Copies of this chain bind each other. A is one copy, B any other.
């Protein structure tokens, strides 16, 4: 009977561009997995980003935030597009996403960068450099220069205009994200690299000081420090040196995208944004790709894998998560590819068919 099932409410935020296509696939995959694992999902679709701007005039409607807050997890597609690029800040799709992160206090952003052996040749880096790369960037997501105040514009007595932002971290913020990262590193290969610019920035000096202090609680994790400019080089030089990277909001934005591109598997990479209490946000790291939206060309793998992270990190449903991870690998092994990851000898299919291939596996292979 339905009441014997475990039941979760999921907020769906398809967003813009290819967002709706890829979240539809991921939703179907979740439902299918649920039917096999005795899990019921109650989806509620809400507006965010450009889609919300067009409908309601704001990028994060109050109703979206309150529904999201009351749900067990949030599955997000992608936001943004040329159409809204010139909007003032308050009316940018991105602002809606930032308000959502802040509203849900999801301070810990987990961005795995792994190489799918089936797609290794898609990397621009040499095979021996990328083969076996398996790292995760833990990015602080609700602090730093993204949210620091004061921020804005000012004009001095001579009519000279300035634009300014504040990079700021408190001890508490650093301690939280650092502990989170140490816990992740402990469950992985036991190596944590903290990235900062402590040779120049006071915010980074405090960062480094606190990371060193928290490290005493985790003697089993090997800690190192790297300046951000060096980290951006080291990711290119020898990415396999990294296990877990922890860094601030803006450095994490830059380095996690660089790491993702290095794997060559950028259309494949999911992310999780987690709070201490309350629901997390799960989304692909790729963007809204407005140029191919609505053409059934989008790659839904990253969103499907985000749904797997939702099951694992958001709901603690590890078994269901593994089903999805397994089905994705098997779909790749059977040669199914969207255009962005297509190579000679594989089968080029659309977004929807990838979803069907993933689900087609469940009954038999698992």
Interface residues of A (CB under 8 A from B): 80, 89, 92, 94, 98, 124-126, 129, 145-146, 148, 151-153, 160-172, 197, 199-207, 228-230, 232-233, 235-238, 250-251, 253-258, 260-262, 266
Give the chain B neighbours of A260 by CB distance below 8 A: 233
CB pair B236 A262 closer than 8 Å: yes
How far does the alpha carbon of A204 sit from the alpha carbon of B124 in the complex, in Å? Answer: 30
How far does the alpha carbon of A163 sit from the alpha carbon of B197 in the complex, in Å? Answer: 12
Give the chain B neighbours of A160 by CB distance below 8 A: 170-172
CB pair A167 B168 closer than 8 Å: no
CB pair A167 B169 closer than 8 Å: no
Copy number of this protein in the oligomer? 2
How far does the alpha carbon of A124 sit from the alpha carbon of B238 in the complex, in Å? Answer: 8
How far does the alpha carbon of A203 sit from the alpha carbon of B166 in the complex, in Å? Answer: 10
In terms of DSSP, what is the predominant structure of the interface of chain A?
helix
Are A164 and B266 CB-contacts (below 8 A) given A124-B237, A250-B197, A257-B230? no
How far does the alpha carbon of A254 sit from the alpha carbon of B254 in the complex, in Å? Answer: 9
Are A232 and B206 CB-contacts (below 8 A) given A126-B125, A200-B146? no
Give the chain B neighbours of A261 by CB distance below 8 A: 232-233, 236-237
Are A171 and B166 CB-contacts (below 8 A) given A202-B151, A236-B124? no
CB pair A200 B163 closer than 8 Å: no
CB pair A232 B205 closer than 8 Å: no
Please tell me which one of the listed residues B163, B170, B255 contacts residue A206 in the complex, with CB atoms under 8 A apart: B163
How far does the alpha carbon of A235 sit from the alpha carbon of B125 in the complex, in Å? Answer: 12
Chain B: minimal CB distance from A90 (Å): 12
CB pair B163 A205 closer than 8 Å: yes
Please tell me which one of the listed residues B89, B170, B257 contacts residue A233 in the complex, with CB atoms under 8 A apart: B257
CB pair A94 B257 closer than 8 Å: no
Give the chain B neighbours of A262 by CB distance below 8 A: 236
Are A205 and B250 CB-contacts (below 8 A) given A160-B172, A232-B257, A255-B232? no
CB pair B171 A201 closer than 8 Å: no
Known A-B contacts: A164-B166, A232-B257. Give 17 more (CB < 8 A).
Answer: A89-B202, A124-B126, A124-B129, A125-B126, A145-B145, A145-B167, A161-B171, A163-B169, A163-B202, A163-B206, A163-B207, A164-B167, A165-B168, A165-B203, A232-B254, A232-B255, A233-B260
